[in-house]
Amino acid sequence: MISRRIAAAFAAAASAMLLLSSCATGDDAVAQGGTFDFVSPGGQTKIFYDPPSDRGTIGKLSGPDLMNEGQKVGVDDFEGKVVVLNVWGQWCGPCRAEADDLEQVYEQTKDSGVQFLGINVRDDTKNKAQDFVVDNKVSYPSIYDPSMRSLIALGDGYPTSVIPTTIVLDRQHRVAAVFLQELLAEDLLPVVQRVAQEDAQ
C-alpha cells in the first residue's frame, strides 16, 4: 500500500513537472521564436553573418508605435524588405550624434526595399522620446519600449545593454550584420546596399 502511494505521488509530481516544463517552454518559444545565435568574436563591435544561408532569424519583434497612439509596429509589418533596427534613447549622446546619419542612409535606400525601425528604450517619458524624433527629423517609425521587453526577440546572450545598437536584417529577416557602436552613414550605407542587393538564398 505504501509503495502504491509513493508511486502515485511520484507520478503526480512527474506530471506536474512535465506540465510546468511544457508551459515554460511554450512561453519561451513565444518570447524568443528565432534561430539567431549572437556571437561577437574577440569582442568585435562590427559583426557580419555570411553566407546568407547560415544566418539566423530573430523572434517576433513588435511593440507600441512611439508616434501613433494605440498602434503597434513590428518587423513583420515589412515582409520582403531589408529591415534596419536601431536601438536608441533620447538620453544617449551617441544616439543623438548618429541620428542624422541613420536618416541619411534610410533616405538613400528606402526606394530599394529597405525599411528602418527604431526601438526606443529606457525613456520613461514618451514626450521626450517623441521630441527626439521631431527634433532630429527622423521619418521612420520606432517602437516605444522603456522596459526593453521587445528586445527579448533578439535572443539570449544578446548585449541589450549596449546602446546604440544597429542590426541589419536581410529580406528573410535573418541577421546579416550587427553594429554595437555609434555609426556614420559611411559605415552603414555600403552594408545596407549590399544586403539589399542580395538574391534570396
Q: What is the pLDDT of residues 87-131, one digit of tens each?
A: 999 999 999 999 999 999 999 999 999 999 999 999 989 999 999
Do 40 and 94 reside in the same domain of the chain?
yes
Number of independent structural domains in the chain: 2
The set of residues, in sequence order, having a beta carbon less than 8 Å from that of 163 and lying 6+ positions away, is 87, 88, 89, 92, 94, 95, 121, 122
Domain span including residue 20 = 1-31
Cut 0.85: pTM above it: no
Do 102 and 189 reside in the same domain of the chain?
yes
pLDDT 10s digits, 137-179: 999 999 999 999 999 999 878 899 899 999 999 999 999 999 9
Cα 9 from Cα 107, distance rounded (Å) = 65
Do 13 and 81 reside in the same domain of the chain?
no
Do 149 and 116 reside in the same domain of the chain?
yes
Burial class of residue 79 in the structure, from the number of CB atoms within 10 Å of its CB (0-12 exposed, 13-18 middle, 19+ buried): exposed
Do 12 and 60 reside in the same domain of the chain?
no
Do 163 and 150 reside in the same domain of the chain?
yes
Cell 513590428 -> residue: 74
pLDDT of residue 40: 83
Q: Which tops the pLDDT comparison, 200 or 118?
A: 118
